[in-house]
Amino acid sequence: MKGDEAMLKENPAYSPPMVVQSNKKSKGFDLERKKRRAAWLFILPAMLHFMLFTSLPVFAALGLSLTNFSILREVQWVGLDNYGRILKDDVFWTVVGNTLQYAFWTVLLTVTLALGVAILLDQKLRARTWYRTAFYLPHVTSTAAISVLWIWLYSPQFGLFNAVVGWFGVPKQNWLANPGLAMYAIIIMSVWMSVGTYMVLYLAGLQNIPPELYDAAKVDGAARWALFRYITVPLLKPTTFLVLVTCLIKAFQVFDQIYIMTGGGPGYATSTVAHQIYKQAFENLNLGYASAMAFLLCLLIFGITMINNRLFNWDNVNA
Amino acid sequence: MTTSLKKFRYFTLLLLAGALVLGACGDTTPTTAPATTAAPTTAAGTTGAATTAAVATTVASTTAAGGGVKSNVTLKMITPIFPDADGKKALEDQLLTKFKQETGITVQVDRVPSYGELPAKLTTAFAGGLAPDVFNIGVGWVGDYASQLLPLDGLLDTADFYESILATGKDNGKLYGIPYIMDTRLIVYRKDFFKEVGLDPEKPPTSWEELRDYAIKLTKRNADGTLDRAGLDVIQSGVQTPEQTRQHWFRFLWQNGGELFSPDKKKAIFNSDKGIEALQYYTDLIRKDKVTDYGFTTGVPNQSLIAAGKAGMAMVNARTMSLEIVKDPSLKDKIGIVPAFKKATQGEFVGGSYWVIAKTTKYPEEAKKLIQFLSAKENAMVGIKYRKAIPPLKSLATDPYVQEDAILKASLDNLKIGRAEGGPNGWLQIRDLFDPVLTEALVGKKSPKEALDGLAAKADEILAKAGK
Amino acid sequence: MRNTFIYDGYGEPTRAQRVTQRSLKLTRRLLIHLLLIGGSLVMLAPFLWMITTALKPDKDIYTWPPRILPSEYHFENFGLAMEQAPFAQYFLNSLILASFHVIFNVALCSMAGYGFARYQFRGRRPLFLLVLAKMMVPAQVTLIPVFVLMRMFPLAGDNDILGQGGTGFVNTYAGLVLPGAVTAFGIFLFRQFFLNLPVELEDAARIDGCSEFRIYWNIMLPLCKPAAVTLGIFSFEAGWNSFLWPLVITQSNEMRTIQLGLTVFRGENQTQWAFLMAGTTLAIIPMIIIFIVGQRYFIKGISTSGITG
């Protein structure tokens, strides 16, 4: 690294990073220490909460996953037996497949649509507030209430969906009872529900891009597409990473709409890992088994997040 | 307390509250018994050994002979059957106020929204050492819960209960659950549609064969093959509780002479020839006779097809049907009830709620007093009327409340030949497997035999584990 | 040769080109509006149905096929629904829960996110990965351990120092609020936003002798207003709509929240449709207001003024 004097020589406009005229060394050392201490102080409250209300319970749950814990019986240590049983269970692999299918389509559609809507609604536009509110509205209502509405929309006889596909000459479908369609029906509903959430995140992310950058590029005569491609997309990278990871995790943990709309059926066609975890924990009272399943799910999510990060190098921006 | 248990608790506490709590494990009192987790180190020396533990491990407070009932105590109750404002009025304002006047005992009620939320509530309460003194369980749960309950033999004069119903509150000969409100499944039909297709509206089907024939006649399809009216709604479409499929099939199983489990409750036998035949019949109604389509529904939760005029006959939950008639009184004259079938034998599905006492209770005498009070005829009737349910007591069969309502009356007839699901320890894990697998048979993904054999194998595995 | 109508960016546009430009712009606007109106309708349709259902008499709800508009309007359904349970108390409890979630989340998560984004320190990456990993554990399996923890919280609710003897935070506001007071998502969100800010700002402030906290509080946090608003909206909503945790941690009617209250309309064997929809409609009003107010901050220029230059 060059000294400040050298830098000054090369570039008269250079200003040293800090006021370090005298006693340079110890001051810089102090600053580093001060910064480190500040960093720890900043994260301390959240981390304390985190240790208490997350790490402890997660460790406890990890312990539970090695037992046959249930309020109904004497608790026994079973080692990795739960994990072994889950991996041997064909139902588990079916629901893993369903979960992957659900996650793939939901994440793909949600993220693309959310970005599109956010860009449209980031411009100066009449009635922008109302559009934004409309798109966000599905998200504020509890999933339970929304799911009940959608059961009606999907009704085979008089539901809105069959009316709409009828315009295109498609015969009436039994959306939620057809094993081949039910999962897609739930995916459509979930995308509808969550576009608003990620639109909000993208809107917030778009505010983080300095408008001067666009102005400068416009002066250079850049086309709209080029602006998007070379300014918006790269500068949205941290937001996109946030959106992708959150959306992915949420998709892998999907539960409410499935519980209410299909109960995982017909057969196991729409059951997901989280749905099975809930059933094991709170219907079968098999908490040890449910915990083991939850950690397998974590492993799956973690793996996919890591692969995603490696492939697209999302998190190297400024990090 | 064994050393392994001590060690187990030590680690539990360590995990949950850190060093602070470390010293506390030696002598916990019943209600404060900490719960839960096991931990890796526990296993090191004791794998396979009786690492007993955790959930509010306490000495069961046995009935002290002649123990007096104290009046200045507060009992805790968790109940899912009185969720709304009317439920509060019935339970808290009416019954428990009266109980307090009579005995001086206060009851703190936690009214949870429904049976769906009850297990989460009970699990956390038990695990946290805050188990209620008195709570409800459903039909079939007794085998699983017995180890946590106080036996209630001799608490009430049980001669007035229907024998079949009382039996469902017992495990290994001991009575744990006092039947409170009951509900059965019925087959109902629309008299107006019977007329329309030339059937005598006063002559409902009397056998499986007639049921199928009538159903075929009553089915109405549009030109494009889509269903306009189901002949027989076999899965009570539109009702939000998915366990309906399983419960409706059990009736066919029992009527055909089949059983769920072997008499010692150690083996699943529902995949017997009789069971397969019963499921074949059930499946054929959809797959072969096409009297309905799987998933044909009103789309409106708790709006049945038969009330909407979209089914000629339907298997229903008696309570749902009564409530629909209350909502739309014009249905009263249109709905007829199919009397219970006899094939190999008679058997109708009964559901319901029981009162039980947690064995961790500090106030067993007071809790028993409360159950006695709630089960006394005139008090029981308050809850039964609020739920539009059927009383489990013979002497209440002549009550005008039952006699003046055709659905309730028929339901009561079914009660006499009623059967309950469940029984063995492990049932709560097995029951969940039924609906998806039965559905796979109903939509043709598996043959009835494949479906039931696979299910029985899994059930056996669970029973073997639970029995250990 | 120059195109007569379409401006190619060289020199002054001709009159014809200006007209084309303007009409192109208009067409583009129109298309955008059409797209957005269509999208909004798709988003809103179920809500319109919800509101009309709330106004329907019972016989309309149970007609077949379903009616879109009520045959008669029963505005009193809203009032009647609210009488089915102590909803005023439920609203208040939910408001307390949601507000505390907003305050804690925005304050603590922004600090933590700032720490992760703007400082180099040992253990930063593993700790942050831990935060991410937290999001991956389904809440269903930590429910019981967290409950036991609240119950055994030392010195709370008649508990002794060892967490014994009382009921801890069970059935208290503290119990209701605490577990969701900091979320991994919040930390993650703020970290991502703080990452984007230019480092010159900080350094300039340091030269001026600002303390680290003042740099965060007076300079950096105001630049992340959209992130703070976003997290505020999300936290409020998560608190307002939470179900499972309030269900297990509250034990008396006085402590119940709005979402638990709404379940009285969805019984095991019957659903009181008009009331359920009326209640749900009323329950989303606070969140709509908060969103409309909050979304004003998603406007260009506010956040970035003064960053560059």
**B183-217 residue pLDDT tens:** 888 899 999 999 999 999 999 999 999 999 999 99
Residues of chain C with pLDDT under 50: 301-309
Neighbours of B (≥3 Cβ pairs closer than 8 A)?
Answer: A, C
The pLDDT value recorded for residue B19 is 31
Q: What does the pLDDT average to over A157-183?
A: 82
3-state secondary structure of B383: helix
**Predicted-complex ipTM score:** 0.82
Q: Do C207 and A18 touch (CB under 8 A)?
A: yes
Q: Do C298 and A249 touch (CB under 8 A)?
A: no
pLDDT at residue A247 greater than cutoff 90 = yes
Kindly provide the residue ranges of all beta strands, DSSP E only, lying in B36-139, ordered along the sequence: 74-79, 106-111, 134-138
Mutation pick from A77, A83, A178, A295 vs chain B, by most beta carbons of B within 10 Å, is A77
Q: Which of B82, B465, B444, B187 is nearest to B290 (CA)?
A: B444
The pLDDT value recorded for residue B51 is 34
The pLDDT value recorded for residue B25 is 33
| Token digits of residue C113 | 């996110």
Please state, for a pLDDT cut of 70, what percent of chain B lies above it.
Answer: 83
Nearest CA in chain C to B31: C165
DSSP, res B390: B
CA B5 to chain centre: 34
pLDDT at residue B242 greater than cutoff 80 = no
pLDDT at residue B103 greater than cutoff 80 = yes
Mutation pick from A64, A160, A284 vs chain B, by most beta carbons of B within 10 Å, is A284
The pLDDT value recorded for residue B252 is 92
Instruction: Please state, in angstroms and rounded to a whole number, the distance separating the CA atoms of residues C225 and A120.
Output: 21
- State the nearest Cα–Cα gap between B16 and chain A, in angstroms: 6
- Residue found by looking up tokens 């123990």 in the block: B67
The pLDDT value recorded for residue C300 is 59
The pLDDT value recorded for residue C303 is 42
The pLDDT value recorded for residue B288 is 92
Q: Do A60 and B439 touch (CB under 8 A)?
A: no
Q: Do A122 and C300 touch (CB under 8 A)?
A: yes
**Phi, psi (degrees; rounded to nearest 5) at B221:** -115, 150
Q: Do B435 and A158 touch (CB under 8 A)?
A: no
The pLDDT value recorded for residue A27 is 57
How would residue B220 be classed by pLDDT, with cut points 50, 70 and 90?
very high
Tell me the pLDDT tens digit for each residue of B392-402: 988 888 889 88
Residue A198 neighbours by CB distance under 10 Å: 28
- Residue numbers of C between 277 and 306 with CB closer than 8 Å to A: 280, 283-284, 287-288, 291-292, 295-304
The pLDDT value recorded for residue A222 is 73
Beta strands B170-171 and B174-175: pairing type?
Answer: antiparallel
Nearest CA in chain A to B123: A71
Q: How far is CA A36 from CA A17, C207, C209, in A?
A: 18, 18, 17
Q: Which amino acid is at B321?
A: M
pLDDT at residue A118 greater than cutoff 70 = yes
The pLDDT value recorded for residue B35 is 38
Instruction: Please state, in angstroms and rounded to a whole number, the distance separating the CA atoms of residues C282 and C240.
Output: 12
Q: What does the pLDDT average to over A24-41?
A: 74
**Distance linking the first and last C-alpha atoms of chain C:** 41
- State the nearest Cα–Cα gap between B75 and chain A, in angstroms: 21
The pLDDT value recorded for residue B67 is 54
The pLDDT value recorded for residue B39 is 37
The pLDDT value recorded for residue A32 is 80
Least confident of A191-205, A274-288, B292-306: B292-306
The pLDDT value recorded for residue B468 is 60
How would residue A18 be classed by pLDDT, with cut points 50, 70 and 90?
very low
Q: What does the pLDDT average to over A52-78?
A: 86
Q: How far is CA C186 from CA A52, A58, C102, C181, in A?
A: 17, 19, 10, 10
Question: Which of A52-66, A87-101, A148-162, B29-43 shows the highest mean pLDDT?
Answer: A87-101
Asked if residue B82 lies in contact with residue B116, where contact means CB atoms within 8 angstroms, the answer is no
Tell me the pLDDT tens digit for each residue of A283-316: 888 888 999 999 999 999 989 888 887 777 665 5
Name every residue whose Cβ is closer than 8 Å to that of residue A35 and which is 6 or more positions away in sequence.
C119, C120, C212
The pLDDT value recorded for residue C126 is 87
> C170-175, long-range: CB within 8 Å, 24+ apart, which pairs?
C170/B128, C170/B130, C170/C249, C170/C251, C171/C249, C171/C250, C171/C251, C171/C252, C171/C255, C172/C255, C173/C93, C173/C96, C173/C97, C173/C100, C173/C255, C175/C150, C175/C249
Instruction: Please state, in angstroms and rounded to a whole number, the distance separating the CA atoms of residues B376 and B385.
Output: 14
Rg of chain C taking only CA atoms, in angstroms: 26
Please state, for a pLDDT cut of 90, what percent of chain B lies above it.
Answer: 40
The pLDDT value recorded for residue B454 is 92
Nearest CA in chain C to A298: C136
The pLDDT value recorded for residue A12 is 41
